[in-house]
Each structure stands twice: as structure tokens, then as C-alpha cells.
Homo-oligomer: A and B are copies of this chain.
Amino acid sequence: MGRRIQVVENIMGANERLAAGNRQMLDAAGVVGLNLMASPGAGKTSLIEHTIRRLGQQVRLAVVDGDIATSIDADRAAAAGAQAIQINTGGECHLDAVMLQAALGQLDLNDLDLLIVENVGNLICPANFALGTHKSVLIASIPEGDDKPYKYPGMYRGVDALVINKIDLLPYIAFDMDYFRRGVAALNPGLATFPLSCRTGEGVEDWLDWVLAQLKHKVRLSPGG
């Protein structure tokens, strides 16, 4: 097992170095990068569609979509009006810095303000691989249940913002928001949190304001992502 651990450490170290390189590329071009993570079906693509449609006139943005198969998400982002690049991970449960590096090479970063990376639908693996983006965003979803912060602490601990999607379903689901928020607060005190519904549009405005704030303050962006 010693050799396996060494190999894993080498892979992680290489990823960190490549992530730092991606960050430098983004910073040099003045592009803010967001890494969106979530379970399958929590609403990453729907939130990206809202973001493109609402901010696309004032912000030059592109989307990098990670999936193990298909280009469904990138097609949706492109249909909403953004330049979109699909990464198929070929079975891997997360994006890594090498994959993002390849995608960055296909974009003219100097023509961009904002890069949204849609990670693979997964509450575990993506948390362990830095990409070089500036901020990490987790999208939780009401029908997933209120125990997810407790069961997936690594993901909740590491993010800079939390979207709670599908609040329109609250009347139909047993979801204890206090229990959920206590779990989040224990792992990530003061986390910026945006309850919203991509279906009805309720609450999306606050999310868009947060995105715009990241762009305005990008010179003061903290390490992350």
C-alpha cells in the first residue's frame, strides 16, 4: 500500500501545481473563475442558464461543463447564450486541474470576465481537487434532504457560497431548514447562502448580486476553489 499512497500523493501534488497555473492564467487575463459543485440533478445547469440569461449582456462569460458522458449541459449553456466547452471525464467522478487547463486553452481568456465551471454531479470527489478557480459554490437542493451537511462534510466545509435550490418544493417535502442550517454553520460559519428556485426565479436576484460582487472585487479575491 505504501506505493499506492505515494502515487496518490504525487497525483494530488501535480494537481495543486496545475491548479496554481490555471489561477495564474485567469488572473493574468482578469477573469474570475467559479467552480460549481452539486449532487446530480441539484440544478447546476439551471442556475448557469439563469446566470447567462440575466448577466450575459453586461458580463462576458463562458462555461466549462464537466460530465462523465454527453454534452447535454454544455448544449444548454450554449443555447442560453454563452460560449460553452464540454469536458467528458470518461468515468472520472470529478474535474481536475489538467482537464480545466485543456479547456482554458480553447478559450480566449482576454475576451472574458467570468468563467463558470460546472463540475461533475457528485457530493464527494470534486471537493478534493482544486481547479484554480477563485471561488467554490455548492448547490444544495431541497429534495436531497436536510441531512446532507452532516453526511457530506468535506463538501460543505470547503465552499465559499451555498445555493439552496428548489425552495418551491418546500411545501411538499419534509425538510427542516433549521436543522440543515445548523449543520452548515457548524462546518462553515458565516457561509454566504442563497435559498432560491431556478423554476420560479425566486431568490435568483441575490445569487446574481453575489456573482457581480465577485467580479467587482476580483483584485481582493481570496484563495479558494
Contact = CB atoms under 8 A, between A and B. Distances in A.
B93 A41 contact: no
Contacts of A141: 41, 143
Interface stretch (A28-36, A66-74, A207-215): A66-74
- Tell me how many chains of this kind the complex includes: 2
A41 B145 contact: yes
Contacts of A3: 3, 7
Q: How large is the interface on A (under 10, 10 to 19, 20 to 34, 35 or more residues)?
A: 35 or more
A100 to B, nearest CB: 19
A168 to B, nearest CB: 7
Contact of A67 (B41, B121, B151, B172): B151
A118 to B, nearest CB: 12
B150 A72 contact: yes
A91 B124 CA distance: 7
A28 to B, nearest CB: 29
A121 B151 contact: yes
A62 to B, nearest CB: 21
A72 B121 contact: no
Contacts of A220: none
A39 interface: yes
A152 B4 contact: no
Contacts of A168: 172
27 contacts: A4-B11, A39-B39, A39-B40, A39-B144, A40-B123, A40-B151, A41-B144, A41-B145, A68-B152, A69-B150, A69-B151, A72-B150, A72-B151, A73-B151, A93-B124, A93-B125, A120-B124, A121-B123, A121-B152, A122-B123, A141-B143, A143-B143, A168-B172, A169-B169, A169-B172, A172-B172, A174-B199
Contacts of A144: 39-41
A154 interface: yes
Contact of A152 (B40, B124, B153): B40
Nearest to A91: B154
A47 to B, nearest CB: 13
Nearest to A92: B124
